Structure 1
Amino acid sequence: MCTAFVSFDPGSAVPVLLLAVRDEYTDRKWLPPGCHWPDQPNVTGGLDLDAGGTWLAVAPSTGPGGEPVAACLLNGFGHTAPPQQRLSRGGLPLIAASGEPITSAWLERYDPFHLIIARPSGVRVVSWSGSRIEDHELPAGLSVVLNDGVEGRAGAQPCPPYIRATMAARAAHFRARLQAVARPEPADEPPDVAWGQWLPIARGDGYRRTTRQP
């Protein structure tokens, strides 16, 4: 299960904070963040060596107003694409980082996903169920995006109850912990300083999953 927390504070010097954990398909080969795509030399991200895409892409300036953009991908539940037409979802963060809009015209070739598109002026989550596209603008404050969508409210099928319960427990634990400490404003400092009290929480906070498959 992948989990992403997004803190949006329009009045902050750092309006958007994104914490994401990728813990699916961990056996896939990958390379650390870098400029891996010659046709997008300004984009930084980790490289999926199986399909050539990424799960998190960052570009210094693109899209409306030339704002920086970060695009983070989570897999979703729903209807999968036909195998003979399927495209890797890892290409979606690169599309978003280029400034190109995500539209329903060609999404039938992708398995379900949730794509966080973050800019200093606001954060959107584009969700595709395999048959329907939804576009959510996140409010100010702390939001969580799970494999079952924004705040786990997509209600997608099939999603086994124990998986939904596990996602909800993880979201509740980390939301409470992040809200209980000061929101950082990362600057040009070492991570241990820049991320303040959020860093040990982001590193796992000693959390252990307790919900088990029946």
Structure 2
Amino acid sequence: MKTCRCTVPKMHAVFSPSEAEDVLVIVISLFLDRRLEGLLLILGDCLNSLISYFNTSEWESSCLIVAESISKRVKMDLNCLRLVDCITGTNDRSKFLRSQLALQLLKNSFCLKVANVERILKSVTSINVKEKECNFFVLYVHIVLMDNLLFSSDAFRNKTAIIDAWRNFLRNCSTHIGCTDWRFYASKVRNKASYLLQGAMLKRPAGSGSIPAK
């Protein structure tokens, strides 16, 4: 008895990798347009489709190009956090893009030529919240981006020194900023640091000890 075999015509790529990168940058940037808030679900579907469009061999380099391009288009304010938040996928590619975008935004914020995670972490954690001139709004943006950088992907989960340094800084922010500190965004930094610290304690690097069982 003969069996039927279905054949599927060879699919051709609609976009070249560079064209797909440009479209991905445009789609992510559209999340900032308040007039398109009613289309966020559609934009999210487009975003996920584009992320899946690249070949495995293309994705890492294309992701870096996309992250660098977007980071040059947006200021270090709440809009950059909005762009990071729009990448909501839970697959490895989406998490990697979210982490890389946070990395490039922080790199530009600190005027670094190379996106060195250790140097960025040192720049963030060297901020003294007790200083009178501390810019808590910028600090708020920095800690949200730093947390996305470290925990969106699995790249740093086993880097004990990095994760411990980050936890200590979050702990200092949550305890050294008083409840009666009325400086602009001080309370938001304290509350966000406390919230992120709880999440960071659950993401303990391997070999750093375990959370006691209840």
- TM-score, normalization by structure 2: 0.27
Q: Could you state the TM-score of these two structures normalised by the residue count of structure 1?
A: 0.27
Higher relative contact order (CA 8 A, sep 6+): 1
Q: Which has the larger radius of gyration?
A: 2
